[in-house]
Homo-oligomer: A and B are copies of this chain.
């Protein structure tokens, strides 16, 4: 996944000569805390936040260029960078939005923290049952019911909880991978359970084939 698939292609921008009053009205209208400052070729010449606009009002500054950050102090990414890079920069620099440049330095989008939060959470919002469906289709000769039986057996063995295959099936239909990870506190534990289930059904399958 690339930055361009993560970014908002529609965004608010301002010019260096614009008045602070106009900019404040625009930021408020579109509910944006930040804006790139662009020249006529849409190239990045600065960055302004609502905190800078507040300061301009307080200090009697009149235009964007009097309070904006210069481009060399602006955290940017390129449209062809991996999407992960935008995530890591947002976390490291604690910024809520990052302008995206193309090869020519033209601003083509903005990655906002809520784009990241939404994408990260969706990526992991698949149902746990989907993982078992992938397992079923990959393991030729193992049925869904066998998988659920094995899962119930492993759950009993690892946690002591008595759960029927049907109940296990209901549970994984209603829970997401994200929930499972947050709940178990990490990927590795989640995998260990899955691997144990896989081992059981595969061993049974191989034993059947050998009969």
Interface residues of A, Cβ cutoff 8 Å to B: 1, 21, 24-25, 27-28, 31, 33, 49-51, 53-55, 57-58, 82-84, 87-88, 90-91, 94-96, 113-114, 116-118, 120-121, 123-124, 126, 130-131, 133-135, 137-139, 177-179, 181-183, 185-188, 191-192, 194-196, 198-199, 202-203, 206-207, 210
> Given contacts A49-B33, A126-B186, A188-B126, is CB(A199)–CB(B138) below 8 Å?
yes
B27 touches A51 (CB 8 A): yes
> Would you call A138 and B91 a contact (CB within 8 A)?
no
Can you list 16 A-B contacts with CB-CB less than 8 angstroms, sorted by A residue number? A27-B51, A28-B51, A28-B55, A33-B51, A50-B53, A57-B58, A91-B118, A91-B121, A126-B188, A131-B191, A133-B188, A134-B191, A134-B192, A138-B199, A177-B187, A202-B206
> Which of A54, A82, A124, A183 is packed against the most chain B CB atoms within 10 Å?
A54
A32 closest partner in B (C-beta): B51
Please give, as numbers and ranges, the residues of chain B lying within 8 Å of A210 by CB-CB distance: 210
Residues of B within 8 A of A192 (CB): 134, 137-138
Grouping DSSP codes into helix (H, G, I), strand (E, B) and loop, the A interface class, with mixed when no group exceeds half, is: helix
Q: Taking A96-B96, A138-B199, A188-B130 as contacts, is the C-beta distance between A55 and B121 under 8 angstroms? A: no
Instruction: Give every chain B residue within 8 A of A118 (Cβ-Cβ).
Output: 91
Which residues of B sit under 8 angstroms from A191, Cβ to Cβ?
A: 131, 134-135, 194
